[in-house]
Structure 1
């Protein structure tokens, strides 16, 4: 049986779509992560803080206005939450994808809604309509 009839799944860590694989045929319902890397990473406290920052910013902006996930990375990189670390751009994009998958936001590029699993380049996040 192919993966065509399977329920689509998204990774708990990165928010990307998990592609069905033949080796997962027997345990597809228990698959939660797209890769070993995501399974090892899981959701860290900084990931939750990035989600909270993005949600707070979305709640405080006018309808239709976008929030750049990179702003969350910049804001939290300097805070005590990140321990002064840098390199939060990709964790911020993962947080944005998780919010989209939960239906709390939409990911947009040049004003059009895009698939968070395949979007490349600068993206914005706006509250769901």
Structure 2
């Protein structure tokens, strides 16, 4: 059995790391989403707006500052911002993959695929 040279990818919707699976052997190069839920959800205009908002909020702060995903959710959602928390976290994970931001907990960069609990977002530092 051949081992695929690229054993991990990132989901285009949620930004989490996907591991190679035998059921994807025939079409691994075409696999974009980690689950049926992510395939159905895709990336919406609201998701792109959250990404732009995160980058704008960070650009308007000091280079060492961080934001909470709720800052972006509040900027877009107003009174209904709580429904945008998970989409804001997904947007942040996609921005990590793009190399734009880092996700931190207690000041330390964490793996966005496995981070649980409160997170902060900061500009990527080389």
Do both proteins adopt the same fold according to a TM-score greater than 0.5, normalized to the shorter chain? yes
Aligned-pair Cα RMSD in Å: 1.8
Q: CA distance change for structure 1 residues 2 and 116 in 2, over 3 Å: closer, same or farther?
A: farther
Instruction: Give unmatched runs, 5+ long, in structure 1.
Output: none
Partner of residue 106 from structure 1, selected from 102, 107, 117: 102
* Stretches of structure 2 lacking an aligned partner (at least 5 in a row): none
Per-residue CA distance 1:28-61 (angstroms, 9 max, x = gap): 1110000000000011111111001000011111
Q: Check 1:112–1:73 CA distance in 2 against 1; reply closer, same or farther (3 A cut).
A: same
After superposing on structure 2, the runs of 4+ consecutive aligned residues of structure 1 that deviate more than 6 Å are none
Question: Are 1:12 and 2:12 matched, yes or no?
Answer: yes
Match of 1:70 in 2: 70
TM superposition shift of 1:86: 4.9
Task: Count how many residue pairs are aligned between Structure 1 and Structure 2.
Answer: 125
Q: TM-score, normalised by structure 2?
A: 0.91
The answer for the alignment partner of 1:59 in structure 2 is: 59
